[in-house]
Structure 1
Amino acid sequence: MVGKFVDQKAQERYFATYEAIRRKWPVPSEELDVETRFGATRVRRSGTGTPIVLLHGAMGTSLSWYPFVADLAARHTVYAVDMIGEPGRSVQTRPMESTDDEADWLADVLAGLGHEKVHLVGISRGAFLALNLATRRPAGVAGVLAFEPGGFGIAFLRFVLWSIGELSRWWLPTAILRRVSAGDPSVRHTMRPLVFRGMKFKIQMAPLHVFTDDELRSIDVPTYFILGERSLIKAPELAARVESLVPNVRTEIVPGATHALNLEELELTNARILAFAGEDHAGLPD
């Protein structure tokens, strides 16, 4: 099975919303369809400079980066990816059944972009995919910046309950949402129809893998973990674990932040990406 919408009407409604949000992309962009062994992957390119590849969280699509891209594209070539197997403009033709498949897919995407090395920036599942590539197919990876990454034993039920609570807030009026959730309410309101209409897409992806100690030890590129103090996992324990295993790693725990860290801390998110993609990682907290 490959990822697909439940019917034509659901697909049409989704892509109408997708196009409406696409028009909010604040800088010039070019849309690429990168061929991979699992199907054509849609990538949105903006800016010039040292390349950054952005990997969204579940159901987010490349468009979830629209609040960040103006600052990033002013200094870098930014590639925002629609992950294959999820709703978006990528077209899956073959199932991804394992973490090796996921690494092969992302390696194919990077090869298609044509750079010797890129910085990978991921949120949640996107961060998992970036770290997974660094453990399995690291040749094209200059570094990994992982915001609230998956792959560290988050209980499924706990994630589902958190997601229900988070998404339920997206229906609140702006004034109330501003009081109960950090960040710009307009971002959640903009992305809300896309996420909810994407629920009529049958997702196809490999089961989420939990990283072993040996896999983490194998990461040999600069790596930066940014975790929320109120993460779905115990952030201090995760930070201690990766600091003891990953050779060239830094960690940061953001006070008060949850798994929705990127929505709650837009300025911090952009600042950390820009600092990480710099030549010497200047500006990152020690």
Structure 2
Amino acid sequence: MLGEFTDKKAEERFFATYDEILGKWPVPAEELDVETRFGPTRVRRCGPEDGAPIVLLSGGMGTSLSWYPHIAELAARHRIHAVDTIGEPGRSIQTAPVESTEDCAEWLAEVIDGVLAGTGHEKVYLAGVSRGGWLALNLASRSTDRIAGLVTIEAAGFGRIGRSFIWWSFREIFRWFLPKWLLRLVASGDPEVRHTVRPLLFGALKYKQHLPEMHLFSDDELRSIDVPARIVVAERSVIHDARAVAARLESLSPHIRVEVVPKTTHGLSLEKPELVTARVLEAVPVKPGV
């Protein structure tokens, strides 16, 4: 089955909000549709053409626009490709079902091939939040032929997502409706960003997804990742035990480096946006040999 909005009005409202937020994209960008077996995937490209290519993957329901607070700094030195994930709300158009984790990897590999075509670069750096981090790791654990390195922020795939996540989500949503002055007192990060993306998130709830479950990564899968991987997790995460994740991963591979960020939750990218930007910049050399 294919993902779709519940009705035409919900779709129109979502894209009206999408286009409004797109106006906050801080640098000139071009949009391209990368053809994949699962449908054309919308990619927003910006930054110097000779910069190291970075593919940005959002969390579930987040769309590429969730990266807008980070773009000005990232695109100053690097070639940025922000992706609307296939099968989720956004400008990508799903034409075939995504039925397995293998399909997820195949889709992302095709996107990477598309953004690299004609650029002179052979590999990209991947940066993903939550489900986007899972997508990056899911591909890297199968093949790193086109990957130079990766950074994940609170990636799924290290623990079962259950009631704790649901309760955290409800609490987080309640906070997003607080006035900015109060939100500034009770939550880390810029309240303006939460208020900006809030209508897009709620519009996305009218989209019915049909995507495979994000499986838990095995030791063998993680051990097979042979490129630098920076795994950033939140100390108070509700989707895994951060300390256990750190102990496990660092014992598996010398390529994996784990950072536990104190006093943060699964909303780490909103709570510490400057840290997220810094970790991506640290992972990507200005003049890489790719």
Is the partner of 2:69 in helix, strand or coil? coil
Q: Residues of 1 paired with 2:99 and 2:164: CA distance?
A: 24
Q: How does 1:1-286 map to 2 (within 5 A)?
A: 1-48=1-48, 49-114=51-116, 115-232=121-238, 233-278=240-285
For normalisation by structure 2, the TM-score amounts to 0.95
Is the partner of 1:183 in helix, strand or coil? coil
Q: CA RMSD in A?
A: 1.3
Q: Residues of 1 paired with 2:150 and 2:88: CA distance?
A: 22
For normalisation by structure 1, the TM-score amounts to 0.96
Amino acid in the other structure paired with 2:274 = E
Q: Residues of 1 paired with 2:168 and 2:33: CA distance?
A: 34
Is the contact between residue 159 and residue 241 of structure 2 (CA under 8 Å) also seen in structure 1?
no
Task: Give the deviation of 1:280 after TM superposition.
Answer: 9.5
Q: Residues of 2 paired with 1:30 and 1:246: CA distance?
A: 38
Q: Residues of 2 paired with 1:130 and 1:117: CA distance?
A: 14
Task: Give the deviation of 1:279 after TM superposition.
Answer: 5.9
CA shift digits 1:35-90 (9 cap, x unpaired): 00000100000102001110001111000011000000000000000001110000
Is the partner of 1:154 in helix, strand or coil? coil
Task: Give the deviation of 1:167 after TM superposition.
Answer: 1.5
Amino acid in the other structure paired with 2:191 = P
Query: Sequence identity of aligned pairs in percent?
Result: 58
Deviates more, 1:199-208 or 1:181-190: 199-208
Amino acid in the other structure paired with 1:37 = R
Deviates more, 1:185-194 or 1:151-160: 151-160
Amino acid in the other structure paired with 2:266 = H
Task: Give the deviation of 1:250 after TM superposition.
Answer: 1.0
Task: Give the deviation of 1:8 after TM superposition.
Answer: 0.7
- Give structure 1 regions of 4+ aligned residues with deviation exceeding 6 angstroms: none
Q: Residues of 2 paired with 1:23 and 1:278: CA distance?
A: 29
Amino acid in the other structure paired with 1:74 = A
Q: Residues of 1 paired with 2:253 and 2:16: CA distance?
A: 43
Amino acid in the other structure paired with 2:5 = F
Task: Give the deviation of 1:158 after TM superposition.
Answer: 1.9
Q: Which has the higher contact order (CA 8 A, sep 6+)?
A: 2
CA shift digits 1:138-189 (9 cap, x unpaired): 2111111011110112332222221111112111100111111100000000
Unmatched 5+ residue regions in structure 2? Answer: none
Amino acid in the other structure paired with 1:205 = L
CA shift digits 1:212-267 (9 cap, x unpaired): 11101111110011111111221111001000113311111111111111101111
Unmatched 5+ residue regions in structure 1? Answer: 282-286
Is the contact between residue 103 and residue 137 of structure 1 (CA under 8 Å) also seen in structure 2?
no
**Alignment size in residue pairs:** 281
Q: Residues of 2 paired with 1:234 and 1:57: CA distance?
A: 19
